[in-house]
Structure 1
Amino acid sequence: MSLSNTPRHIFFQTRKNIEAWLTLISHSEKCRLPRGTAAASLLDSRLENHRKRARSKAVQSEHADERWLREIEATLLAYRRMIDATVDQLSDEALWQRPGDEFNSVAVLLRHLGGNLKSRWSDFMTTDGEKPNRNREKEFEDWEGNRQSLLEYFDEGWAELTSAVKSLDSGNIERTISIRGEPHSIAQALLRSLTHITYHTGQITMAARMVHNGPWKWLTIAPGNSAEFNSQNWGEASSRAVFAQKTKSDKPDK
């Protein structure tokens, strides 16, 4: 069999099908071309180019997964800094104070996040993300312990999440896990937790502002500081991490 005898219509198929056909004939004894011929050299060249492209795509995909995971890790760290900076400004009394009826205190929100993250990410590869021993309803009751025990509980849940992220790579990021019986890719489950954290971080900062007495240390760009912040941080990585960034004229809340 030679290239000239191949049915003409095959050359009008997709590149993928053509390359599959080339691979097939290169491994078929009946279709093997004599070594040293122009046709054989052309076939070998096409096959090698195909293998190189496949290897390149695999490497690019692996690098993209790793970059995505590192960005998730950095974003989680930014929101954790925001939570810590908020809690640090609250007295014990304010930490437990509900801003009003039907409002959660900062302590309640920390308790809920800790319970949620511990349930979602402990043994996440082999067990459902909603653990049988989790009592979600109790998370919204007032915390009966002290500040230290509350923060330790929150830290336990957060540690499960960060440990899970560090364990991931391009080889397992597409695995399927479950949350309340619903299948999720690990990437989907991570985004679900990230958006859940950002949602409650906003609530934590708002509740803190409502119960806090005295000057407030701004966690993002203070009112009136946008132009100064931009001039100092334009084009820098810090422009994406305002949670941890200070400007020279930080203004206390009035």
Structure 2
Amino acid sequence: MEIGKEYLRVVMERFISVKRLGDKTLNQLSDEEIHWNYNTESNSAAIIVKHLSGNMVSRWSNFLTSDGEKEYRDRDEEFVDDTTTKAELIAVWEKGWRVLIETLTDLSEADLLKYIFIRGEKHLVLEAIERQMAHYAYHVGQIVYVGKQLKDNNWKSLSIPKGKSEEYLKEMLERHQDK
């Protein structure tokens, strides 16, 4: 087994898993709810999506050959809630993920030990991938939290529903015994 290839496979699965959490949350929110925020210091789902997408396009475009903070990126504009519809927001969301996934798919095991720059700071590719994973999981977690607040009793759980842990564990054990 080649550890670098296995790492790239696993990290791709993790990014896709994080994306699915965001997808499932955004699917539960209405056009109005994507713009809700608790107060002026908190961000709506729409703003978080814009920020994530802006970061992804900047970081993952020309990943191995240019600084991850592109000159064209306007990070401050990402925090302006100017998307009008959920469909528009989903297009922004998908654009960022598409750039990330295409770039990650093209990486080789040898690329993991190369150096790239983010805001002039040198990072191993491996380190940069982990940095972005933590950043995206953090923000998708915020989107999920906002979704739970908004949907309350109408929230459709993204994992094991409350009070169903034993039932889930039993089901998983039975499933794996059959293999």
Give TM-score scaled by structure 1 length. 0.66
- Which residue of structure 2 aligns with residue 145 of structure 1? 84
1:236–1:83 CA distance, 2 compared to 1 (3 A) = farther
In 2: Cα distance, 1:209 partner to 1:174 partner: 39
Give how far 1:211 is off. 2.3
Structure 2 spans left out of the alignment, 5+ residues:
none
Deviation at 1:100, TM superposition (A): 2.5
Is 1:208 equivalent to 2:147 in the alignment?
A: yes
Tell me, what secondary structure is at the counterpart of 2:97?
helix
* Higher RCO (CA < 8 A, seq sep 6+): 2
Shift of 1:222: 0.7
Distance in 2 between residues matched to 1:218 and 1:158, nearest whole Å: 23
Higher fraction of helix:
2
Structure 1 or 2, whichever has the larger Rg, is 1
Residue 161 of structure 2 corresponds to residue 222 of structure 1: yes
Contact 1:174 1:187 in 2 (8 A): yes
Aligned-residue Cα RMSD (Å) equals 1.6
User: Counterpart of 1:122 in structure 2: which amino acid?
Assistant: S
Alignment-derived partner of residue 176 in structure 1: 115
Supply the AA of the counterpart residue of 2:77. K
Are 1:125 and 2:58 matched, yes or no?
no
CA distance in 1, matches of 2:6, 2:175: 18
What residue in structure 1 maps to residue 22 of structure 2? 83
TM-score of the superposed pair, with normalisation by structure 2: 0.92
Q: Aligned residue for 2:128?
A: 189
Contact 1:115 1:154 in 2 (8 A): no
Q: Sequence identity, in percent?
A: 34
8 Å contact from structure 1 (residues 82, 219) kept in 2: yes
Question: What residue ranges of structure 1 are gaps of 5+ in the alignment?
Answer: 1-59, 238-254
How far the C-alpha of 1:145 sits from its partner, in A, is 3.4
1-side partners of 2:174 and 2:52: how far apart? 34
2:155 aligned counterpart, secondary structure: coil
* Residue 138 of structure 2 corresponds to residue 199 of structure 1: yes
Change beyond 3 A, Cα 1:202–1:235: farther
